Amino acid sequence: MLRPFAGELANRISGYGVDAVCGPLTGGALLAAMLADRLELQFLFAERRVSERAGLFPVDYRIATSLRGQVKGRRIAIVDDAISAGSAVRATYANVIELGGVPVAIGALLVMGPGAVAFAAEKGIPLERLTEVPTAIWTPAECPLCAQGTPLTEAGAG
């Protein structure tokens, strides 16, 4: 069922001179592997690691140790199945840069909200997505429900 969508995304990414496709292991790695296979490129994956940071992006993603030496100087597409806040894509992007790679495109089947579009624009990198839906993510300081003191769940629920 995923194969036709992966084919469309692969077609879109193929025009960026990509050497490898990388996806977060806990998200888009299966999709990234399908795209890499279809485009006959190397597949890389980034492993999720919890950091000490607070805030909206407290998780890091690092290219697997066994693959780290294969990043330097290579043109890499970062792919996730769905992007909302974008923490996996942001952290994978940062690690690719840290390892000397060149992110050339971001790809997703689904983009939710403006975060991915803003990040791609900020980095000057194309964002290829098959569809997008509006949504909003707020920090606690910006959340209208938090400002009203509205609980996320009812007491005793669950």
Domain ranges of the chain: 3-148
Whole-model pTM? Answer: 0.83
Burial class of residue 15 in the structure, from the number of CB atoms within 10 Å of its CB (0-12 exposed, 13-18 middle, 19+ buried): exposed
Top-tier CATH class for 3-148: alpha beta
Q: Where are the alpha helices (DSSP H) in the chain?
A: 3-13, 29-39, 87-98, 115-123, 144-148
- 105-144 pLDDT, tens per residue? 999 999 999 999 999 999 999 999 999 998 777 677 777 7
Structure tokens that stand for 11 in this block = 């077609």
